Structure formats: C-alpha cells, structure tokens
C-alpha cells in the first residue's frame, strides 16, 4: 500500500508540475488546481490528481480549403478557345434568362391587371342587374317598398327573388362569369371609413360558376370585391348597399403565360444553339492567330529561325494580336540575324584559324627541314650551311612579320587601336612613305614617284596609321610590278577631303580575284613568287585603317596593264557621315576613334559580298557587295573593285 501510495503521489506531482513549452504547444489540457488553503500546512493531504491529455495531431483533410474550385476548374475547358466560347454562351444564356423572366413577370402583371378590369366591369353589370331585380321585387310590397329598411332588414320579396338558385346561377354564369357572392345591407360612417353592415335575416347569397370554360380558359386565382351605394332619387327611401364579390373566374392568363414561356424556351434554345455556333466561330477566329503565334514560337525554339507569323492572317485577331505578331516577327528577324552573324563569325573564325595555322606551318616546316639537313652531312658543307642559315633567317623574318601583322589586324578588329587624329598636311605623310620605299624600288629597278599638289592639303588624320596604309599599298605595287615599271603616288583634293592614288604598271589582277583581294591571307594565283613572299594581311589592314578614318578604298585593275588603288579620305573623320553613323569616331570631336563596329566580312573583297553585318567592337563603313566589270582583253576599261559604296 505504501509503494502504491508513493506511485500515486509521483503521478500527481508530475501532473501538477507546470507544462513545458512543448506540452503547451501540443495543446495539453490542465485540470483545475486545488484551491488555496485547502491543504494543511504540513502538506500531509495530497491534492486531487490532475491529468494532462495530449490530443493526437489531426492531419488536415485534402478537401479543406478546396471547396468547389477544384471540380469547377476541372469542368472548365482547358483551351482559351473553349473558355472564350463558354463565356460567350454563358453570358448569352444569362441575358436570355433574365429577359425571359422579366418578360413573364411583366406579362403576368399586365394580364392580372386586365382581368381585374374585366372583373370590375362584370361586378358593375351584376350590381346593375341585381339593383333592378331588387327594386322591382320591393316595389311589389306597398307596405314596405324599401330594399333594406332603416333597421337593416331585407325586404321579403327581395329575399324571395334573389334567393332563387336558378337566378343566382344565371347571374354567375352569364353576367359575372365567376363565383358570385352578394350581400345586402347598410353602412355607417366610422373614424376608419364607411363600415358595411349586413342586412337581416339573410344578407349573403352565393352561386358557383358552373358553365364550361371556353378553349384556353381556366380557373384563375384573382378575386374582386366592390360595394355599391344606391340612393333613392326622391330622397324618401333609405339608402342601401350591395356588396358584389367575384372570384375564380375563367381567364386565359395562365394559358397565355404558358404559351409565352414555351415560345421563350424554344426561342432561347434556338438562340443558344446559334450562340454556340457563333461563339465557336468567333473564338476560333480570335484564337487562330494566337495558335499560329504559338506554333511559330515553338518552331523558333526548335531551331527553325525562318519561321514567321503571316501578316495577312494575323489581322483576323484584332489590332492587339496583329501588333503582337508584328513584334514577334521583328524579334524573330533579330534572332535570325544574330544567329546568322554568330554562325558567320564562327565560320570566319574557323577559316581564319585554318589560314593562320597554314601560314605558320609553312615557315616552321622549312625551319624544321633546314635543321634536319644541318644535323646531317650537309652541315659539314660551309656553303650549304650558310645557305640554310640565310634561308632560316628569311623564314624567321617571315614569322616575325606574320606575327606583327596578325597582332596589328587583331588590334584593329577589336578596337584596341585608337586613332591619333590631328590636322596635318598629307604631303608630309606621303613623302615619308615614298622615301622609305625608294631603296626597295631601286633594288627592283622600278621608278617610284610622288605627284603632290603645290598647296598644303590638310586633313584630320593619324599620320602613323595612314603611313602604314601607304607603305602597304606602295609595297604591293613594287612587289607585283616587273623590272622597268613604275609606281606613282598621286595626291589631289576631293570634296573638301583628299584622294590618294597608288598607280602601278604591274601584272594586274584577274577579274575573278578582285572580290577577294581584301580577304585575309588571300594572295591570288598570278605572280606566285611575288605573292608567296607576302602574308596576305596587308590589304586587310589597309581597309580597316581607311574605314576607321571614314574613308573608302577602290581598286581598278586590268590584267597586264597594272592596278590603281584609290583611297578617299574626308576632311574630318569626326564629321564624316560614314564614320559617325558606324561609330568609327565620336561626333563630339574627341580626336580619337575608339571601339566602333567590326568591319564587314573579308569575303566581299574590301566589302562584304555575303552581306555580313558589322559586329560590335569595331569600325565598319557602309559597304556594299563588290561589283566586278570584266572587260575584254583588248578593251580599255579596267576591272573595278570597291571596298566601299561608290561615290
């Protein structure tokens, strides 16, 4: 017993202990604590046992909070066309339902009012007939000729004549055409109005309507009661009152309402079917452009960049959808153009890497061959060793030259080179370039002259970069002109700018090669020995530098008669339409040409024959595909290639 008592005390104390936060959070219910002072000071008596109950967590039902939204959403069509059709049909059905209900209510009210008017007319007719009948019967009694005496007593003759059932039935069937109830009496004035006082001994007479209804008639629930006052014209007899009540007449109200309801139902069903057809047609007409737009977007996402939304079909969906389709087509055009540019740049990059690899492989292969030969018996021959070392030095120079040209062209393409534009005399730049090339011209047995104007020709240009252009053009002229020929550099003013021509009497350029002479690493097929010594990057650098100056390069050539390279420069590249429009220079006149747009693809021969657009980061003049005019061998007109649009 003692151990059991201790266990009970432990459970009681544990239950009486204050619950923890976790217990409270779980919803523990704590019983009432013992009242203060209920136990003794020693605590010998224990307080009642308090139990804490922790209910099990109730899992929320899946249906809680859903209501009817899930079934309704499942019942709705999933397509926009279906929902648009359903909305149109529901609006039509709601409108027709409201109109139908209002029509029935208004019609019922009008018909009820019309029946009340008819009952009033019939009540007047019944009152007139009963008056004649009652006064005639009362006149047959000489002693009492009143219908209702002053004491409220109905005349016996009147009672006898009116109480005949045949008379009342005739009144009900012929005159009232409803259940008839007649009451004779007097009236007294009260504060609430005139109060009808029935006569004695019998005041009420009634007769049901027993006639058969006509076609379309039925018993109606309307009723009408009216009290008529009859005065003696001579003022001798007392005034008496007659109350006529008509109820449950035969009317066509219910049949009329039923016919109208049936007609409205048939019309509504027909209108609803028509609304379904029209809504489906209109919804399809509205959603067809959206479906085409979705299909075009899906095709575009799958890689069909040529997919477009037909503009003529997009007009069927409204102005908003037409504008959306137009913007989608514009976006698709931009995406296609961007992807084409990326693809073209990728192909160009691959070709450029292949060309660079080829150009680097040639001197490296020669150096490897020379090295292997020098390791063998040929190295013992002094003359052979000297020859191999000289050839190796030439290949090393070629590698260095190629690396410098590649670096230069890369800087030009990436916009890392900024022009140091300054107003300077072009004659000084040309004289410096010609003077530097004189040694090479004399060694080749060529005549190199400069034809300069007497007056200074000042333009804003970068002397160093323009000197690089002249060095490359003069070097090409010297390289492809046979001994005894001449190269002339002609400077002349042109449209407030300048025109520089480098004219040689060399081998000329084939018409088929003209569109590609500005391609990187392209050296042509004629005069292979001369062309093989170059890097194929000189003319590409020429075009880039000229375009950075906002100028143009034109090539005119005829096989066997020489070539003419014409460079046209504006007076100030900062105000040049070509340079400013393409971002070659800043219109604000910063004095430098920063990063503009990339030059056109070299496949066009100084102008893009494939229509490549400029990529961000470099300068690009407004170029057009190269046009080549091939003249007969005996013709005097040269073949012309232009690196920019014709003037």
Which of helix, strand or coil describes residue 537? coil
Residue 187, pLDDT score: 87
Q: Which of 63-67, 99-103, 223-227, 464-468 has the lowest mean pLDDT?
A: 63-67
Which band of pLDDT confidence, cut at 50, 70 and 90, is reported for residue 263?
very high
Q: Which residue has the higher pLDDT, 487 or 32?
A: 487
**Mean pLDDT within 611-616:** 32
**Mean pLDDT within 35-56:** 44
Q: Which of 190-194, 271-275, 464-468, 482-486 has the lowest mean pLDDT?
A: 190-194
- What's the rounded Cα separation, in Å, for the pair 22 and 79? 50
The three-point CA angle 507-511-515 to 5° equals 110
- What's the rounded Cα separation, in Å, for the pair 71 and 274? 28
Q: What is the 3-state secondary structure (H, E, C) of 422-439?
A: EEEEHHHHHHHHHHHHHH
Q: Find tokens 């104007």 and name the residue.
A: 453
- What's the rounded Cα separation, in Å, for the pair 579 and 547? 7
Report whether pLDDT(28) > 70.
no
Residue 399, pLDDT score: 79
- CB atoms under 10 Å from CB of 338, counted, come to 13
- In the DSSP assignment, the letter for residue 29 is B
pTM exceeding the 0.75 threshold for the entire prediction: no
Q: Which of 27-31, 312-316, 379-383, 488-492 has the lowest mean pLDDT?
A: 27-31
Residue 313, pLDDT score: 59
pLDDT in tens, 269-282: 998 899 888 888 88
**Mean pLDDT within 511-534:** 64
- What's the rounded Cα separation, in Å, for the pair 308 and 331? 10
Closest CA to 504 of 522, 529, 530, 543: 530
Q: Which of 54-68, 106-120, 408-422, 434-448 has the lowest mean pLDDT?
A: 54-68
- Residue 536: CB partners within 8 Å, gap ≥ 6? 355, 359, 519, 520, 521, 522, 523
**Mean pLDDT within 281-306:** 84
Residue 201, pLDDT score: 86
Q: Which residue has the higher pLDDT, 41 or 545?
A: 545
**Mean pLDDT within 365-394:** 78
Which band of pLDDT confidence, cut at 50, 70 and 90, is reported for residue 632?
very low
**Mean pLDDT within 491-516:** 87
Q: Which residue has the higher pLDDT, 631 or 399?
A: 399
Q: Which two tokens stand for residue 582?
A: 């393409």
Residue 390, pLDDT score: 82
**Mean pLDDT within 359-385:** 76
Residue 215, pLDDT score: 87
pLDDT in tens, 396-451: 877 776 777 677 767 666 666 677 888 989 999 999 999 989 988 999 999 999 99
For the chain, give the percent of residues with pLDDT over 70: 70
Which of helix, strand or coil describes residue 7? helix
Report the CATH architecture of 417-642: 2-Layer Sandwich (3.30)
Report the CATH architecture of 320-414: Orthogonal Bundle (1.10)
Q: Which residue has the higher pLDDT, 167 or 56?
A: 167
Which band of pLDDT confidence, cut at 50, 70 and 90, is reported for residue 623?
very low
Residue 495, pLDDT score: 83
- What's the rounded Cα separation, in Å, for the pair 254 and 258? 6
Angle between helices 319-375 and 382-414 (to 10 degrees): 160
- In the chain, which segments carry CATH 3.30.565.10? 417-642
Residue 487, pLDDT score: 93
- In the chain, which segments carry CATH 1.10.287.130? 320-414
Q: Which two tokens stand for residue 608?
A: 């893009």
Report whether pLDDT(601) > 70.
no
Max CA distance (Å), the chain? 184
Q: Which two tokens stand for residue 11?
A: 């459970």
Report whether pLDDT(530) > 70.
no
- Mean model confidence pLDDT for the chain: 74
């Amino acid at each position: 017993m003692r151990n059991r008592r201790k266990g009970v005390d432990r459970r009681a104390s544990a239950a009486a202990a204050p619950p923890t936060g976790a217990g409270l959070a779980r919803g523990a219910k704590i019983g009432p604590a013992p009242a203060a002072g209920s136990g003794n000071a020693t605590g010998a008596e224990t307080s009642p046992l308090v139990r804490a109950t922790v209910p099990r967590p109730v899992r929320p039902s899946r249906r809680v909070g859903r209501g009817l939204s899930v079934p309704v959403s499942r019942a709705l069509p999933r397509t926009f066309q279906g929902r648009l059709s359903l909305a149109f049909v529901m609006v039509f059905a709601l409108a027709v339902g409201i109109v139908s209900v209002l029509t029935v209510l208004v019609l019922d009210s009008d018909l009820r009012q019309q029946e009340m008017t008819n009952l009033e007319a019939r009540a007047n007719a019944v009152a007139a007939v009963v008056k004649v009948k009652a006064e005639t019967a009362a006149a047959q009694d000489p002693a009492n000729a009143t219908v209702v005496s002053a004491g409220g007593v109905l005349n016996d003759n009147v009672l006898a004549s009116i109480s005949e059932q045949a008379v009342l039935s005739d009144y009900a069937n012929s005159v009232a055409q409803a259940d008839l109830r007649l009451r004779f009496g007097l009236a007294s004035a009260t504060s609430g109005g005139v109060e009808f006082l029935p006569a004695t001994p019998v005041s009420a007479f009634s007769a049901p309507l027993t006639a058969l209804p006509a076609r379309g008639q039925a018993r109606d629930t309307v009723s009408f009661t009216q009290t008529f006052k009859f005065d003696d014209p001579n003022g001798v007899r007392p005034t008496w009152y007659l109350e006529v009540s008509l109820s449950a007449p035969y009317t066509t109200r219910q049949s009329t309402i039923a016919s109208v309801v049936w007609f409205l139902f048939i019309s509504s069903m027909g209108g609803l079917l028509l609304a379904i057809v029209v809504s489906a047609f209109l919804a399809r007409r509205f959603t067809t452009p959206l479906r085409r737009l979705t299909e075009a977007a899906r095709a575009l996402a799958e890689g069909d960049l040529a997919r477009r939304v037909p503009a003529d079909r997009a007009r069927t969906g409204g102005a908003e959808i037409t504008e959306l389709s137009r913007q989608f087509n514009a976006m698709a055009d931009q995406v296609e153009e961007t992807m084409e540019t990326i693809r073209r740049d990728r192909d160009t990059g691959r070709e450029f890497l292949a060309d660079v690899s080829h150009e680097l492989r040639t001197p490296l292969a020669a150096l490897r061959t020379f090295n292997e030969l020098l390791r063998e018996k040929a190295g013992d021959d002094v003359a052979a060793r000297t020859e191999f070392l000289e050839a190796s030095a030439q290949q090393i120079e070629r590698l260095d030259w190629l690396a410098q040209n590649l670096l230069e062209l890369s800087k030009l393409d990436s916009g890392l080179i900024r022009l140091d534009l300054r107003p300077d005399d072009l004659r000084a730049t040309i004289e410096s370039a010609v003077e530097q090339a004189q040694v090479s011209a004399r060694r080749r047995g060529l005549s190199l002259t400069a034809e300069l104007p007497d007056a200074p020709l000042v333009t804003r240009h970068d002397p160093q970069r323009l000197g690089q252009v002249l060095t490359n053009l003069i070097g090409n002229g010297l390289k492809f002109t046979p001994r005894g020929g001449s190269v002339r550099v002609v400077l002349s003013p042109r449209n407030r700018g300048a025109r520089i021509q480098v004219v040689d009497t060399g081998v000329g350029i084939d018409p088929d090669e003209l569109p590609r002479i500005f391609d990187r690493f392209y050296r042509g097929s004629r005069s292979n020995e001369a062309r093989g010594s170059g890097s194929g990057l000189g003319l590409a650098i020429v075009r880039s530098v000229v375009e950075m100056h906002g100028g143009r390069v034109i090539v005119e050539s005829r096989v066997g008669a020489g070539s003419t390279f014409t460079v046209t420069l504006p007076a100030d590249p900062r105000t040049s339409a070509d340079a400013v429009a393409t971002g070659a220079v800043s219109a604000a006149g910063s004095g430098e040409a920063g990063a503009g747009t990339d030059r056109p693809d070299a496949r066009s021969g100084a102008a893009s024959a494939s229509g490549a657009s400029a990529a961000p980061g470099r300068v690009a003049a407004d170029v057009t595909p190269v046009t080549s005019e091939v003249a007969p061998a005996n013709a005097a007109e040269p073949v012309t290639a232009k690196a920019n649009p014709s003037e």
